[in-house]
């Protein structure tokens, strides 16, 4: 029997605002527990929420990027439930009138393009964190995260495989980071997803019973969790049983999903409009301001790189697909460096160093300034491109200034023709057999002589000068 | 010199002329409070109040209300001073912040002597739901002072303080003002900040004032009201000086009488007082117009859906986890919630949480909450239409004078009808006040004046002119030997 999968994703993107959605407490990650909490976040009696307009701007920017409808008047509702890390006993969210409705995101799975429609994206506040394993006999609560603004992005159930889900998440990740809406750091929970998964017989018009896998926080886990869940549901149905509609957790250690305690979630949330907040109205002027500061997105960036700087298409795509890399590249070009050279190094040498350490360029020890020095030293002939790689590796480890490394390690390129001629004469003298063969028509041996000269100069010889001088010497 | 029953304006004059010091004033106030039998206060702040009085006497403080002792309803958060909201669940709660209203009144130089008793979480019309005991009406200690701001009303009525704050969600300032024979005003919704006011029903709650007359209320309102960026529902329209228009002529002004309020069904004395008050306004040149407000009869049922719905959510934060009462011996989280809330809340609060939870539940929301929102809009529109025709609307403040303690506690519906005349102005958000205008069964009754949006000065003008031509507001209770 053959089955098809239907998946809808609810993604929570933590908006990169400085302060919380309804209070002026900081949203910084990783501070001491309960230090980023003010009266509002604590849910003390008589305190009131005031909306952070910056969160609206970011939500609207996202909406515009996916070509959605923006509700210039949106409102907040209360979702009521008891939990210790929810200080007010309700979460403020947008139920009836979300800021963003509709729109779509294009994905690409092994070259196949597909469009996933978006149902809605709404603003809501995050809860705090319950910590159950810090003390043997009690649970504790950290409210630093309580009130952090989230944009919940809900897709239509149009995703048909775990691979598509991953590719949707990657597209979303790229979009929110480029828009500077979210820092995209999945390991810190800045971007996390709930997957609604169901299966049905191919051709069946009815949807199957779905389960919801909560809080998946990496691309890899999304794929594994969904695949596990699909297999599990098939097994259940093929054994003649029924899938239970429930919330499940993905355990990455055991690579399995299992039901969460259902009692906690058998809630009637009693949504109703929050009487403490009036509907939020975004004026036409504010909309215009958001439009006018709209950042360039990857596809446009890539096209521009090719036409403006004549760099390779594949290099343009790689650089433009990462916000950090494209910023790094553009900063390098501000100092009139050779775009092709910069692109080449970023995609080649720097790319493999980034992959090796699994970090982003702004987390590395290579600063834009230092990269700028390096590019200039290549362009002015001080060092060769080959030596540049050695220098990059040194910077990568120590973060030291490129000029310092060049001087200290004597890596300045040898341009002095007299000096090079001396080396060439020496090479020719000690390889008489090869010289004879070359003269007899074995052209390929030219490379051998270049190699020998480079070896003698520890790679510091200017390659162009070596070529010219060698040709002259061998043909004389 | 006896300070009892002196008005705010009189005390200001005495202080200005140095006929009395603030220290004497505050000291005398605490003496009077200690001999009082009304149970008006939950918490006193004697040391701090006396220090502030000394500061004033040394010339360190100025302001419109400088050196004057006042009382705060125990629903306003006061920094470093216990704030219980009349509930066991907040028995030991000491806020680290001041409500904006408290802040404003301190900035004007007034001295808070303590926190007044109230129905638990402002839910009640008799002050009998307070965890800290029933407040007694100074006019008859066997009777209720009204509620929920019963402590504030009784304290002013008894002459313990010349002014006190209150809050009004469905009549909680006007009904106790009426039953205690004093003047009380609730401004337009949004005119006074709700920051630091412990929420009962957020879309209805509004802070206001009690005093011995309308002029004092105007002075207090000048400081109680303010635009506050910490309250999203706060009104930013420019605020007038409420004393500026109190002496305006009433000639040719129109007063609306609501056709649908059946005055003839009320006690004869209540009817007579109402007719007598009409006569006073007629003599001042005002005209009476009957206005039809066909939806006003929906007010009580509408209110008892909207207010409990909001309260059921607002009171969720009292869960025994972060602050307030926490039950002992809870085995697990669910038990902690159930025990803390069952033991911490009183019956009336629980009743309203249950009603509110019910009307918001899946399957009932449309039939109750949504319908109530619709009828609320219709009631609002009735007011808008009425104010196209008249300057103010007039009605009794409550159906009768103060009732005996315990006489209505067994019948919640009977108790809810106490607010029959007052609830609609909360649903619409318009300003309203109550002034003393006679007696029924020997106990004071009040006249309600309702104004259009942001027209506080209009009703204060009518009230002040009325008080210049009557002496009901000068009557004081006989306190017997005890004081």
Domain identity same for A93 and A187:
yes
- Tokens 């039901």 found at: A259
B183 contacts B217 by C-beta, under 8 angstroms = yes
B38 vs chain A: nearest CA distance in angstroms? 27
Distance CA B209, CA A331 (A): 63
Q: Which of A353, A379, A408 is the last residue of a domain?
A: A408
Domain identity same for A324 and A403:
yes
Q: What pLDDT score does A266 carry?
A: 59
A76 vs chain B: nearest CA distance in angstroms? 12
Distance CA A120, CA B438 (A): 60
Distance CA A300, CA A294 (A): 12
A372 contacts A388 by C-beta, under 8 angstroms = no
What's the structural domain count of chain A? 3
Q: What pLDDT score does A423 carry?
A: 87
Q: What pLDDT score does A335 carry?
A: 86
B475 contacts B408 by C-beta, under 8 angstroms = no
A51 vs chain B: nearest CA distance in angstroms? 8
Residue A276 lies in a domain: yes
Q: What pLDDT score does B18 carry?
A: 96
Mutation choice for A interface testing from B73, B102, B204, B322 by most A CBs within 10 A: B322
Contacts of B429 (CB under 8 A, 6+ apart): B188, B189, B190, B380, B453
Helix (H) or strand (E) holding A60: helix A53-65
Cα angle B188, B193, B196; round to 5: 140
Strand partners, A9: A195
Domain identity same for A175 and A310:
no
* B99 shares contact with chain A (CB less than 8 Å): yes
Q: Which among A144, A152, A125 is positioned nearest to A59, based on CA atoms?
A: A152
Mean pLDDT of A102-107: 96
**C-alpha B431: how far from its chain's center?**
12
Q: Tell how many helices (H) and how many strands (E) occur in chain B.
A: 15, 11
Indicate which CATH number applies to the domain containing A440. Answer: 1.10.10.410
Residue A265 has pLDDT above 80, yes or no: no
Q: Which among B251, B282, B208, B277 is positioned nearest to B432, based on CA atoms?
A: B208
Distance CA A69, CA A103 (A): 7
CA atoms in the 13 A half-sphere facing the CB of A344? 12
Angle at which helices A432-439 and A445-456 pack, to 10 degrees? 150
Strand partners, A155: A118
Give A36: exposed, middle or buried? Use CB within 10 Å, 0-12, 13-18, 19+.
buried
What value does the CA radius of gyration of chain B take, rounded to a whole number of Å?
Answer: 21
> Nearest-CA residue of chain A relative to B311?
A275
Q: What share of chain A is helix, strand, coil (3-state, %, to 5)?
A: 45, 20, 35
CA–CA distance from B34 to each of A348, A361, B39, B483 (Å)? 86, 73, 10, 10
Give B137: exposed, middle or buried? Use CB within 10 Å, 0-12, 13-18, 19+.
buried
Return residues 347-386 of B near A (CB < 8 Å): 357, 360-362, 365, 369
Cα angle B242, B244, B246; round to 5: 80
Give me B448's structure tokens.
Answer: 């309600």
Contacts of A307 (CB under 8 A, 6+ apart): none
Distance CA A459, CA A387 (A): 7
Strand partners, B290: B257
Q: What pLDDT score does B483 carry?
A: 41
Q: What pLDDT score does B196 carry?
A: 98
| Banded pLDDT at A1 (limits 50, 70, 90) | low
**C-alpha A283: how far from its chain's center?**
32
DSSP assignment string, A357-378? HT--GGGSS--HHHHHHHHHHH
Phi, then psi, of B287 in degrees rounded to 5: -110, 150
Residue A291 lies in a domain: no
B127: alpha, beta or left? (left if phi > 0; alpha if psi -120 to 50): left
Contacts of A39 in chain B (CB under 8 A): 96-97
A91 contacts A124 by C-beta, under 8 angstroms = yes
- Asked if omega into A272 is within 30° of 0 (cis), the reply is no
Tens of pLDDT, residue by residue over A359-384, are 989 999 999 999 999 999 888 878 88
Domain identity same for A268 and A328:
no
Contacts of B113 (CB under 8 A, 6+ apart): B26, B29, B30, B33, B44, B45, B46, B49, B69, B70, B71, B161
Q: What pLDDT score does B39 carry?
A: 98
Q: What pLDDT score does A475 carry?
A: 80
Domain identity same for A376 and A402:
yes
SS3 call for B382: helix
Q: Which of A266, A285, A304 is the last residue of a domain?
A: A285
| Rounded percentage of chain A residues whose pLDDT exceeds 90 | 70
* B337 shares contact with chain A (CB less than 8 Å): yes
Residue A263 has pLDDT above 60, yes or no: no
B415 contacts B124 by C-beta, under 8 angstroms = yes
Domain identity same for A357 and A456:
no
Nearest to B198 among A45, A50, A277 (CB): A45
Domain identity same for A304 and A399:
yes
Helix (H) or strand (E) holding B23: helix B22-35
* B231 shares contact with chain A (CB less than 8 Å): yes
Q: Report the residue count for chain B.
A: 483
CA atoms in the 13 A half-sphere facing the CB of A238? 10
First-to-last alpha carbon distance for chain B, in angstroms, is 14
Contacts of B65 (CB under 8 A, 6+ apart): B8, B12, B105, B108, B109, B110, B219, B220, B223
B95 vs chain A: nearest CA distance in angstroms? 8
Domain identity same for A430 and A404:
no
Domain identity same for A318 and A279:
no
Q: Do B93 and A276 touch (CB under 8 A)?
A: no
Residue A267 has pLDDT above 80, yes or no: no
* pTM metric for this prediction: 0.89
CA atoms in the 13 A half-sphere facing the CB of A469? 23
Q: What pLDDT score does A325 carry?
A: 93
Distance CA B319, CA B334 (A): 10
Domain identity same for A19 and A93:
yes
Q: Do B194 and A46 touch (CB under 8 A)?
A: yes
Tens of pLDDT, residue by residue over A53-64, are 999 999 999 999
Domain identity same for A396 and A445:
no
Q: Taking all residues of chain B, what is their mean pLDDT, rounded to a whole number?
A: 96
> Nearest-CA residue of chain A relative to B370?
A272
Mean pLDDT of A116-129: 97
DSSP assignment string, A272-332? EE-TTSPPEE--HHHHHHHHHTPPPPHHHHHHHHHHHH---HHHHHHHHT-HHHHHHHHHH
Nearest to A88 among B90, B309, B316 (CB): B316
> Nearest-CA residue of chain B relative to A88?
B317
Tens of pLDDT, residue by residue over A140-193, are 999 999 999 999 999 999 999 999 999 999 999 999 999 999 999 998 899 999
Domain identity same for A335 and A276:
no
A164 contacts A146 by C-beta, under 8 angstroms = no
Catalytic sites of B, residue numbers: 73, 148, 172
CB atoms under 10 Å from CB of B333, counted, come to 17
Q: Which of A369, A385, A408 is the last residue of a domain?
A: A408
Q: Do B312 and A270 touch (CB under 8 A)?
A: yes
A417 contacts A469 by C-beta, under 8 angstroms = yes
Distance CA A178, CA A175 (A): 5
Distance CA B110, CA B224 (A): 12
Could you tell me which CATH number the domain at B1-483 has? Answer: 3.90.1300.10
Give me A124's structure tokens.
Answer: 């809501």
**Residue A230 lies in domain:** 3-285
Q: Which among A185, A177, A46, A56 is positioned nearest to A124, based on CA atoms?
A: A56
Distance CA A379, CA A358 (A): 29
Q: Do A275 and B357 touch (CB under 8 A)?
A: no
Residue A290 lies in a domain: no
Distance CA A207, CA A393 (A): 54
DSSP 8-state assignment for residue B66: T
Contacts of B87 in chain A (CB under 8 A): none
- By DSSP bridging, strand A256-259 and strand A247-251 are antiparallel
| Banded pLDDT at A264 (limits 50, 70, 90) | very low
Cα angle A316, A322, A55; round to 5: 135
CA–CA distance from B229 to each of A23, A49, B236 (Å)? 12, 10, 9
Q: Do B317 and A88 touch (CB under 8 A)?
A: yes
- By DSSP bridging, strand B41-44 and strand B111-116 are antiparallel
A144 contacts A128 by C-beta, under 8 angstroms = yes
| Banded pLDDT at A262 (limits 50, 70, 90) | low
Nearest to B95 among A44, A272, A278 (CB): A44
B468 vs chain A: nearest CA distance in angstroms? 38
Contacts of A84 (CB under 8 A, 6+ apart): A130, A139, A141, B319, B321, B333
Q: Do B96 and A278 touch (CB under 8 A)?
A: no
Distance CA A402, CA A90 (A): 55
Phi, then psi, of A215 in degrees rounded to 5: 50, 55
Residue A448 has pLDDT above 60, yes or no: yes
Give me A449's structure tokens.
Answer: 């002589």
B219 contacts B188 by C-beta, under 8 angstroms = no
Contacts of B74 (CB under 8 A, 6+ apart): B42, B43, B83, B84, B85, B86, B115, B116, B117, B118, B151
A195 contacts A212 by C-beta, under 8 angstroms = yes
| Banded pLDDT at A261 (limits 50, 70, 90) | low
Q: Do B322 and A268 touch (CB under 8 A)?
A: no
Q: State which residues of chain B have pLDDT below 50.
A: 482-483
Nearest to B361 among A49, A90, A268 (CB): A268
């Amino acid at each position: 029997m053959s089955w098809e999968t239907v998946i809808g994703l609810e993604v929570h993107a933590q908006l990169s605002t400085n302060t919380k959605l309804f209070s002026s407490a900081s949203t910084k990650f990783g501070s001491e527990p309960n230090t980023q909490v003010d009266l509002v976040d604590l849910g003390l009696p008589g305190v009131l929420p005031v909306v952070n307009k910056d969160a609206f701007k970011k939500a609207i920017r996202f909406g515009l990027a996916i070509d959605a409808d923006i509700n210039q008047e949106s409102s907040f509702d209360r979702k009521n439930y008891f939990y210790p890390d929810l200080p007010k006993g309700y979460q403020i969210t947008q139920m009836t009138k979300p800021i963003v409705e509709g729109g779509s995101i294009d994905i690409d799975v092994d070259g196949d393009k597909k469009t996933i429609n978006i149902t809605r994206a709404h603003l809501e506040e995050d809860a705090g964190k319950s910590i159950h394993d810090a003390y043997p006999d009690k649970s504790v609560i950290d409210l630093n995260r309580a009130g952090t603004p989230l944009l919940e992005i809900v897709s239509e159930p149009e995703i048909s495989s775990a691979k598509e889900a991953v590719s949707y998440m990657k597209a979303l990740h790229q979009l929110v980071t480029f828009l500077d809406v979210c820092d995209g750091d999945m390991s810190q929970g800045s971007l996390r997803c709930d997957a609604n998964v169901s299966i049905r017989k191919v051709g069946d018009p009815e949807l199957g019973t779905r389960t919801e896998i909560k809080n998946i926080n990496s691309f890899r886990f999304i794929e594994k969790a969904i695949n596990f869940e699909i297999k599990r549901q098939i097994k259940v149905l093929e054994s003649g049983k029924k899938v239970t509609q429930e919330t499940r957790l993905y355990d990455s250690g055991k690579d399995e999903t299992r039901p969460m305690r259902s009692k906690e979630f058998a809630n009637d949330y009693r949504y109703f409009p929050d009487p403490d907040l009036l509907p939020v109205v975004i004026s036409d002027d504010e909309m215009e301001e958001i439009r006018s500061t709209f950042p360039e997105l990857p596809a446009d960036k890539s096209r521009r790189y090719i036409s403006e700087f004549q760099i390779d298409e594949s290099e343009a795509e790689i650089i433009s697909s990462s916000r950090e890399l494209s910023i790094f590249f553009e900063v390098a070009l501000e100092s009139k460096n050779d775009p092709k050279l910069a692109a080449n190094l970023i995609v080649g040498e720097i790319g493999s160093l980034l992959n090796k350490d699994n970090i982003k360029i702004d987390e590395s020890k290579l600063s834009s300034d230092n990269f700028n020095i390096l590019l200039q030293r290549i362009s002015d002939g001080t060092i060769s491109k080959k030596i540049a790689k050695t220098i990059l590796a040194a910077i990568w480890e120590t973060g030291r200034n490129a000029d310092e490394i060049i001087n200290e390690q004597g890596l300045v390129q040898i341009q002095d023709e007299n000096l090079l001629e001396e080396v060439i004469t020496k090479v020719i003298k000690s390889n008489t057999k090869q010289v004879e063969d070359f003269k007899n028509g074995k052209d390929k041996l030219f490379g051998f002589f270049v190699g020998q000269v480079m070896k003698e100069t520890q790679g510091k010889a200017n390659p162009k000068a070596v070529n010219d001088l060698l040709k002259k010497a061998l043909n004389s | 010199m006896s300070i009892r029953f002196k008005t705010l304006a009189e005390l200001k004059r005495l202080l200005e002329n140095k006929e009395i010091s603030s220290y004497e004033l505050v000291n005398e106030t605490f003496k009077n409070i200690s001999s009082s039998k009304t149970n008006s206060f939950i918490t006193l702040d004697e040391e701090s109040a006396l220090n502030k009085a000394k500061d004033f006497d040394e010339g360190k403080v100025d302001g419109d209300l400088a050196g004057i002792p006042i009382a705060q309803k125990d629903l306003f958060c006061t920094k470093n001073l216990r704030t219980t909201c009349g509930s066991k669940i907040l028995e030991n709660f000491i806020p680290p912040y001041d409500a904006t209203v408290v802040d404003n009144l301190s900035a004007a130089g007034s001295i808070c002597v303590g926190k007044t008793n109230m129905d638990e979480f402002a839910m009640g019309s008799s002050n009998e739901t307070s965890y800290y005991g029933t407040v007694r009406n100074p006019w008859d200690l066997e009777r209720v002072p009204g509620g929920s701001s019963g402590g504030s009303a009784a304290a002013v009525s008894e002459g313990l303080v010349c002014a006190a704050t209150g809050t009004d969600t469905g009549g909680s300032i006007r009904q106790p003002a009426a039953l205690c024979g004093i003047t009380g005003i609730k401004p337009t919704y949004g005119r006074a900040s709700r920051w630091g006011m412990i929420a009962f029903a957020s879309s209805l709650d509004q802070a206001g004032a009690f005093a011995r007359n309308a002029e004092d209320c105007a002075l207090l309102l000048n400081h109680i009201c303010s635009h506050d960026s910490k309250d999203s529902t706060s009104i930013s329209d420019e605020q007038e000086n409420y004393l500026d228009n109190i002496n305006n002529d009433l000639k040719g002004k129109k007063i609306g009488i609501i056709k649908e309020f059946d005055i003839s069904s009320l006690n004869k004395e209540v009817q007579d007082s109402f007719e007598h008050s009409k006569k006073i306004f007629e003599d001042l040149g005002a005209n009476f117009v009957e206005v039809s407000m066909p939806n006003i009869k929906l007010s009580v049922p509408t209110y008892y859906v909207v207010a409990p719905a909001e309260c059921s959510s607002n009171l969720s934060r009292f869960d025994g986890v972060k602050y307030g009462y926490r039950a002992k011996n809870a085995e697990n989280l669910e038990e902690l919630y159930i025990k803390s809330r069952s033991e911490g809340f009183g019956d009336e609060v629980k009743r309203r949480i249950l009603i509110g939870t019910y009307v918001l539940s899946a399957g009932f929301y449309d039939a109750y909450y949504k319908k109530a929102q619709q009828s609320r809009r219709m009631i609002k529109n009735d007011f808008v239409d009425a104010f196209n025709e008249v300057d103010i609307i007039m009605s009794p403040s409550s159906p009768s004078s103060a009732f005996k303690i315990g006489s209505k506690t067994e019948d919640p519906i009977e108790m809810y009808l106490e607010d029959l005349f007052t609830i609609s102005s909360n649903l619409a958000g318009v300003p309203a006040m109550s002034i003393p205008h006679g007696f029924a069964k020997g106990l004071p009754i009040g006249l309600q004046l309702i104004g259009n949006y942001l027209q506080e000065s209009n009703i204060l003008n009518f009230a002040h002119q009325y008080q210049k031509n009557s002496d009901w507001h000068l009557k004081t209770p006989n306190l017997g030997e005890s004081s």
